[in-house]
A and B are shown apart, each in its own frame.
Chain A
Amino acid sequence: MLDCGLDMTSTLNFLPLPLVQNPRLSNLPGWSLKDGNAFLDKELKECSGHVFVDSVPEFCLPETELIDLSTVDVILISNYHCMMALPYITEHTGFTGTVYATEPTVQIGRLLMEELVNFIERVPKAQSASLWKNKDTQRLLPSPLKDAVEVSTWRRCYTMQEVNSALSKIQLVGYSQKIELFGAVQVTPLSSGYALGSSNWIIQSHYEKVSYVSGSSLLTTHPQFSVVFQPMDQASLKNSDVLILTGLTQIPTANPDGMVGEFCSNLALTVRNGGNVLVPCYPSGVIYDLLECLYQYIDSAGLSSIPFYFISPVANSSLEFSQIFAEWLCHNKQTKVYLPEPPFPHAELIQTNKLKHYPSIHGDFSNDFRQPCVVFTGHPSLRFGDVVHFMELWGKSSLNTVIFTEPDFSYLEALAPYQPLAMKCIYCPIDTRLNFIQVSKLLKEVQPLHVVCPEQYTQPPPAQSHRVDLMIDCQPPAMSYRRAEVLALPFRRRYEKIEIMPELADSLVPMEIKPGISLATVSAVLHTKDNKHVLQVPPRGGWGPPPRPAQPTGGKKRKRPSDDIPDCKVLKPLLSGSIPVEQFVQTLEKHGFSDIKVEDTAKGHIVLLQEAETLIQIEEDSTHIICDNDEVLRVRLRDLVLKFLQKF
């Protein structure tokens, strides 16, 4: 299984979970059907012209119907955003396999899960809505609830216990480490340049190679994005039979550089006017790019006195982690780990008291809180986490601004339950993953035989149907797939590698049949275990039948492994070469045959010995001697034929 992501857009259908008692959200009118039927009014509430589910938010799980997940042996994780559904799979499907991921992926993934669990558990909600999920009922609901897919599979958030159990099933791996999977294939994680510990995977056998490229970034030489991680390893992706490509940028028209510029400018303008800036974000990832950029920017923009707050239950751990994973950073940052200067500049922001971090709005934060300020906090869906509080607090003033930088959620949908809103909303999605120009360069460089990708990447975005530059353009055209589609990858396993034991190899006598090509016959026992094949020296007895093991004296006759070895017959030599017809006829004549006639056939020749009423049919790969019950004559002729062939 490649990655294990969680679709969190389902939470947009739910009401936000406020951290403090919120009269507005707790007194919303219930929703009733057009005919006045109000049986759903406990579950569905009307808010700002939209209908929301009033319940603990639920998440949309990976497809579980198509295959039995208990039969999955291995899950490969490419980055910390792509493992959020792991507890659902490892704890509730009978999964007994192994999960492979790099160490930073696991550690930061744990933080993301921990934050999620914390956000939801700290504001317990008694109510769990399920009536609305009934298919007949759902049809009657307004959009987008009506169109939500697979609502019956939506689940509440997992617990910390489940998270811990899931993470314990992960096997840590390092870049370029080769991991044997049951002898059948070897998998290797490669740096993908997107996030701390993010990887692409190579899955290869001796004769086939599949690359899984997910969430990669080439922005390594980019000043804004600071050459944070090890650059994407492209060279190792070469010679792939199939390249599975996913996790491209979600916003192909917005270049990250320009967006960071927008972010900074809008931030400065708001703060300058005495307003506050709210940045809904995850506790790791883009936030580091933003902090690094702000670090360079705040002095030039005259913002040195403005406090920056980072509020997350895992803020402290996140800030610390990013400073210690030296081996996962790019060379430039690696060297800084061993210097007094920290690799990421946010450490300096913290030291100089410009950046302060808190686990939540309660406690120390309320004492230190000073306005105008900039707050980084989750969750980007605006449905839970401390961000809900700030939306309620600052939403009424047009001096304040909320800047959306995470591309995962539609900002309009995220804002829907907060309308009408006076605060300014700026959408600066920052997605450093590959865009289509970079994909095109990558494919030219790597030259896979086939590209497999989601259907969406093979056509222009629906809203910009003329932008044919915003799709994958490669030869042969990419094979696309859609949800729940079963796709046969375009290669067949035709060869297996077989090893020969040294003793056996020693005994071989190769014969050169063409310059550079030698042949040898091998008689051996093929030993196959864990998808590995080895030719071993056959048991004693050489070419003859193997000796029967001594019968056990008394007792029952037991079948033993060696009994399975088939009897080796005395082998006739193998023949090679071709028979030159003219010389063969001359030889026949020399040996007293006369009245010889040669006929050409489609496949070779027929030599007729008319007198002897015998026919020799010579074809490329067979020779038949057809004579009427004259075994002596046949053997004579056979020996003449054999003279022209090589034996070994």
Chain B
Amino acid sequence: MDPECSRLLPALCAVLVDPRQPVADDTCLEKLLDWFKTVTEAGPSLLLLQENPCLVELLFRVLKAHDPRPRVLSFSLRLAGLFAAQEDCFQYLQGDSSLFVASAAGQLLVHILALAMRGPAEGHPSPQGCDWPACAQKIVCHVEDSLRSTATPQVTQALNVLTTTFGHCHSPWTQGLWVRLSPLVACLLEKDPIPASHSLVDLLLSVARSPVGSSDCGLWETLAQTLSHLSPTQAGPLALGILKLQDCPQALKTQAFGVLLQPLACVLKAAAQAPGPPGFPEGATGDSITVDTFLSSKSACVGLLCQALAHLELLQLLPQRPSPWPQAPLLRAAVAILRFCHGSAAPTSDVGGHLCAVLAGCVRVQRAALDFLGTLSQGTGPQELVTQVFAVLLEYLTSPDSSPMVLKKAFQATLRWLLGSPKAPSCCDLDPHTQLFLGELLPVLRKRLCSPCWEARDSGLEFLTQVTRHWGGQAAFRHALLASEVPELTGQLLRDPESYVRASAVTATGQLSSWGLYATPTGPEHPEVQQESLFTELLHILSTDSEGFPRRAVMHVFTQWLKDGHADVAEDLEQFVARVLQAASQDLDWEVRAQGLELALVFLEQLLGQPGSRCPYAVALPEAAPPATLAQVLQALCRVQLFEFALRALFDCDRPVAQKSCDLLLFLKAKATPCGGPQEAGASPDVVSVEAALQRWQAGEQGQPLGELEPEAVMAVLRSMDLEGLRGMLAKSSDHMEKSPQSLLQDMLATVGVLGENEADCY
């Protein structure tokens, strides 16, 4: 510990033990603990305590205090734990109203129990606990008492302690502990309502995941029992947890899956006009309890459905998801839910009528169901069902009542289903169903791009970008898109009043243009006319748009165009780079400047013939030509004024820009040096003037231009600069001074006014 901190520490300890002094917030104390942790790791703690007797005094006084402040107590206990955890058990603290304290106390109990059981009790102690250390016995008895308590908070605390125990301790003694406590846990299931059901679920899952789970068959019975005792909403998380377990009996998995499927089974049953195709596996047939939940209240119904959909969505992505996966009934259920929400279902049953009234227009369920439907696109389904899926998605995309968020989700789900749809077997083009759907979708997209709601326009553009990225090369898609008005409308939105929409329009037109799809109907014959105008238009946005998002989007598009070897870029590469860098260098947004460096790097790599950064559909890269010589490269860099841009960025007030520039110049320096470039330019007048300009820039006078640069002078400057040192300095966070422990101690003392010199600050 540095001497300055040692000097401040006694005053801080005095503040902490003084009940009259306000204590800094929990975050400060947490930071203080982090610091002590690094200090104890760095050297012997005993020495630390000897050199700083105030610390021992602090622990002593806080623990002796009659009414210690919870956060100071929590802090002191954890500090004591850092120094000497093995010494003694502290008093029980679980009932504390502060969550920090209760949690710390719970963890402390677990650590003490684990510590006590280490050594002599290691192995297989008897469940009765007669051979357990006294300390451990005391803790277990306390937990037992809490489990028998009628007060739910106490039961919750005990369950949380046990959850932590089984989560952290995997020694054989935990098995004895479970044998001893499981009857008490089972007793909780007999109560109505079941107390602390959340914590109970956590505990059972924690036990099931621990080694106890694999050996104790009683546990599986308890889990099965719990599943059937809990309400459908409470049972959901447990069922998901069970299905995530690596090895558990198939019967239990089937039961758990049944619990998750229940709500959807109910929906299917309620939506059925007549006995339909086979539904879910047995055990998930829409039991009366689920129906009761549905009927009890709107919030219960919505909550249960959303939970089931979210759980099933998670489950589907897991490798251990149940097999066979009931894809078809799940699809049917998702479609039915969406129809209920849309008011387009026409149920005949009472439950169906109720669902209709409850779900009509419910945005929460719509969002959950669309997300779920999107995930289901990973699987297949009978064509008739897939047609229904597309029909319901189209309904949502078309409906004027779809809220902006629902519309966005509908676009996302549609994209996933479109990209998942099979290709026609004969060629690599889209299958007829998809083509048919596209025919209906594009007019809807067109209308959405004209929506007065900017979110709708934005979602439409995002969808267009994504679908073009994947299908830009598909003839059927290209044909349908060019026949629609969508590309023209997209161009129109470059001048949208909403900056997010402008940004999305930039990305979308950039993507369309990459595929030669950004053109007026006369475009295909004269693509260059349109392309040129798009580049000019985007450059105009980059130079003049008042918002950052569109300008950033333009930089991303330009970088992508450069990587892809966009025809328009390749035509006059240097001109393109020069104009973009010039615009970017004057931008007030650091992200734009940083992206400018990214573009500069791509350009540099391409000049140097770096492989791996190019797109497979690159059109006219200098790939065929042999890599240019370094001198040629440097000359090109000078011509596009890349050096001026990079050197200016080196002294950028925003650290990420400076860092990126530093990396770029280092990369260039590394490339240039081994090739033995021009080395003898040491004292030429050029260098002097460049270095003088750089010094002024560093001092904040960035107005002056660098003027014409010679490659030799540039290399000389790069060699003379300590770029590695600069990189090291930039790597340190800008607040490294403010983060020092000394600063922390000063801040804490300043808040209580111990540091006299700061008093004047109040005025």
> Is the pairing of A and B real?
yes
- Tell me which residues from 227 to 278 in chain A have a Cβ below 8 Å from any Cβ of chain B: 253-255, 258-262, 264-266, 268-269, 272-273
Q: How far is the CA of A262 from the CA of B453 in the complex (A)?
A: 10
A265-B447, A299-B497, A466-B356 as given contacts; A259 in contact with B400, CB under 8 Å:
yes
- Tell me which residues from 441 to 455 in chain B have a Cβ below 8 Å from any Cβ of chain A: 446-448, 450-454
Q: Are A296 and B353 in contact (CB under 8 A)?
A: no
A70-85 Cβ-contact flags toward B at 8 Å (1 or 0): 0000000000000000
Inside 8 A of B343's CB, which chain A residues have their CB?
253, 464, 467
**Which of A258, A300, A302, A466 contacts B353 (CB under 8 A)?**
A466
Is A563 interfacial (CB-CB < 8 Å)? no
* Selected interface stretch from B219-227, B344-352, B518-526, B722-730: B344-352
Q: Are B401 and A254 in contact (CB under 8 A)?
A: yes
Is B98 interfacial (CB-CB < 8 Å)? no
Q: Give chain B nearest CB distance to A258 CB in angstroms.
A: 3
A269-B447, A296-B452 as given contacts; A466 in contact with B498, CB under 8 Å:
no
Q: Are B495 and A261 in contact (CB under 8 A)?
A: no
Q: How far is the CA of A171 from the CA of B360 in the complex (A)?
A: 44
Is B673 interfacial (CB-CB < 8 Å)? no
Closest to A272 in B: B485
* Dominant secondary structure of chain B at its interface with chain A: loop
Q: How far is the CA of A254 from the CA of B343 in the complex (A)?
A: 11
**Which of B354, B451, B492 contacts A265 (CB under 8 A)?**
B451
Q: Are A467 and B450 in contact (CB under 8 A)?
A: no
Is B217 interfacial (CB-CB < 8 Å)? no
Is B86 interfacial (CB-CB < 8 Å)? no
**Which of A266, A297, A299, A467 contacts B360 (CB under 8 A)?**
A467
Q: Are B353 and A265 in contact (CB under 8 A)?
A: no
Q: Are B400 and A261 in contact (CB under 8 A)?
A: yes
Q: Give chain A nearest CB distance to B160 CB in angstroms.
A: 39
Inside 8 A of B360's CB, which chain A residues have their CB?
467, 469
B565-578 Cβ-contact flags toward A at 8 Å (1 or 0): 00000000000000
Is A293 interfacial (CB-CB < 8 Å)? yes
Q: Are A466 and B346 in contact (CB under 8 A)?
A: yes
**Which of B347, B356, B446, B498 contacts A300 (CB under 8 A)?**
B498
Is B149 interfacial (CB-CB < 8 Å)? no
A265-B447, A269-B446 as given contacts; A469 in contact with B357, CB under 8 Å:
yes
Q: Give chain B nearest CB distance to A401 CB in angstroms.
A: 12
Is B399 interfacial (CB-CB < 8 Å)? yes
Q: How far is the CA of A464 from the CA of B456 in the complex (A)?
A: 29
Q: Are B352 and A466 in contact (CB under 8 A)?
A: yes
* A-side interface residues, number (CB < 8 Å): 29
- Tell me which residues from 291 to 323 in chain A have a Cβ below 8 Å from any Cβ of chain B: 293, 296-297, 299-302
Find the residue from A254, A259, A265, A293 having the highest chain B CB count within 10 A: A265
Inside 8 A of A273's CB, which chain B residues have their CB?
485
Closest to B454 in A: A300
Closest to A267 in B: B450
A265-B447, A300-B496 as given contacts; A260 in contact with B452, CB under 8 Å:
yes
Q: Are B356 and A467 in contact (CB under 8 A)?
A: yes
Q: Are B399 and A258 in contact (CB under 8 A)?
A: yes
Closest to A259 in B: B400
Closest to B399 in A: A258
Is A468 interfacial (CB-CB < 8 Å)? yes
Inside 8 A of A253's CB, which chain B residues have their CB?
343, 401
Inside 8 A of A272's CB, which chain B residues have their CB?
450, 485, 489
Q: Are B356 and A265 in contact (CB under 8 A)?
A: no
Closest to A300 in B: B497
Q: Give chain B nearest CB distance to A3 CB in angstroms.
A: 30
Q: Are B347 and A265 in contact (CB under 8 A)?
A: no
A262-B400, A466-B352, A466-B356 as given contacts; A301 in contact with B346, CB under 8 Å:
no
Closest to A301 in B: B450
Find the residue from A266, A301, A467 having the highest chain B CB count within 10 A: A301
Inside 8 A of A464's CB, which chain B residues have their CB?
343
Q: Are B492 and A302 in contact (CB under 8 A)?
A: yes
Q: How far is the CA of A224 from the CA of B400 in the complex (A)?
A: 14
Q: Are B400 and A467 in contact (CB under 8 A)?
A: no
- Tell me which residues from 32 to 81 in chain B have a Cβ below 8 Å from any Cβ of chain A: none
- Tell me which residues from 475 to 496 in chain B have a Cβ below 8 Å from any Cβ of chain A: 485, 489, 492, 495-496
Find the residue from A301, A302, A466, A467 having the highest chain B CB count within 10 A: A466
Q: Are A261 and B356 in contact (CB under 8 A)?
A: no
Q: How far is the CA of A269 from the CA of B484 in the complex (A)?
A: 12
Q: How far is the CA of A297 from the CA of B454 in the complex (A)?
A: 10
Q: How far is the CA of A297 from the CA of B358 in the complex (A)?
A: 34
A261-B452, A265-B452, A300-B497 as given contacts; A254 in contact with B353, CB under 8 Å:
no
Q: How far is the CA of A293 from the CA of B498 in the complex (A)?
A: 15
Inside 8 A of B446's CB, which chain A residues have their CB?
269
Q: Are A254 and B356 in contact (CB under 8 A)?
A: no
Q: Are B345 and A261 in contact (CB under 8 A)?
A: no
Q: Give chain A nearest CB distance to B446 CB in angstroms.
A: 7
Q: Are B347 and A466 in contact (CB under 8 A)?
A: yes
Q: How far is the CA of A624 from the CA of B343 in the complex (A)?
A: 74
A299-B497, A466-B356, A467-B357 as given contacts; A264 in contact with B451, CB under 8 Å:
yes
- Tell me which residues from 401 to 418 in chain B have a Cβ below 8 Å from any Cβ of chain A: 401-402
**Which of B353, B399, B447 contacts A468 (CB under 8 A)?**
B353
Inside 8 A of A266's CB, which chain B residues have their CB?
447
Inside 8 A of A269's CB, which chain B residues have their CB?
446-447, 450, 485
Q: How far is the CA of A468 from the CA of B485 in the complex (A)?
A: 41
Q: How far is the CA of A273 from the CA of B450 in the complex (A)?
A: 13
Q: How far is the CA of A253 from the CA of B454 in the complex (A)?
A: 23
Closest to A294 in B: B452
Q: How far is the CA of A296 from the CA of B451 in the complex (A)?
A: 12
Q: How far is the CA of A329 from the CA of B454 in the complex (A)?
A: 28
B355-391 Cβ-contact flags toward A at 8 Å (1 or 0): 0111010000000000000000000000000000000
- Tell me which residues from 52 to 68 in chain A have a Cβ below 8 Å from any Cβ of chain B: none
Q: How far is the CA of A260 from the CA of B451 in the complex (A)?
A: 9
**Which of A254, A261, A299 contacts B456 (CB under 8 A)?**
A261
Closest to B443 in A: A269
B334-350 Cβ-contact flags toward A at 8 Å (1 or 0): 00000000010111000
Q: Give chain B nearest CB distance to A259 CB in angstroms.
A: 6
Q: How far is the CA of A202 from the CA of B579 in the complex (A)?
A: 71
**Which of B345, B452, B492 contacts A297 (CB under 8 A)?**
B452
Inside 8 A of B495's CB, which chain A residues have their CB?
302
Q: How far is the CA of A300 from the CA of B360 in the complex (A)?
A: 32
Inside 8 A of B399's CB, which chain A residues have their CB?
258
A269-B446, A467-B360, A468-B357 as given contacts; A258 in contact with B345, CB under 8 Å:
no
Closest to B357 in A: A469
Q: How far is the CA of A272 from the CA of B446 in the complex (A)?
A: 12
Inside 8 A of B357's CB, which chain A residues have their CB?
467-469
Q: Give chain B nearest CB distance to A432 CB in angstroms.
A: 15
Q: How far is the CA of A300 from the CA of B346 in the complex (A)?
A: 39
Find the residue from B345, B402, B450 having the highest chain A CB count within 10 A: B450
Q: How far is the CA of A338 from the CA of B356 in the complex (A)?
A: 49
Q: How far is the CA of A261 from the CA of B356 in the complex (A)?
A: 25
Inside 8 A of B492's CB, which chain A residues have their CB?
301-302
Q: How far is the CA of A170 from the CA of B489 in the complex (A)?
A: 53
Inside 8 A of B347's CB, which chain A residues have their CB?
466
Q: How far is the CA of A300 from the CA of B401 in the complex (A)?
A: 22
5 further A-B pairs in the complex, CB-CB below 8 A; given A261-B452, A261-B453: A255-B400, A258-B402, A466-B353, A466-B356, A468-B354
Can you sample 20 A-B contacts with CB below 8 Å? A253-B343, A255-B400, A258-B400, A261-B400, A262-B400, A264-B450, A265-B448, A265-B450, A269-B446, A272-B489, A297-B452, A300-B454, A300-B496, A300-B497, A301-B452, A301-B492, A464-B343, A468-B357, A469-B358, A469-B360
6 interchain residue pairs of minimum CB distance: A258-B400, A469-B357, A265-B450, A268-B450, A264-B452, A262-B400
Which B residues contact A (CB, under 8 angstroms)?
343, 345-347, 352-354, 356-358, 360, 399-402, 446-448, 450-454, 456, 485, 489, 492, 495-498
Which A residues contact B (CB, under 8 angstroms)?
224, 253-255, 258-262, 264-266, 268-269, 272-273, 293, 296-297, 299-302, 428, 464, 466-469
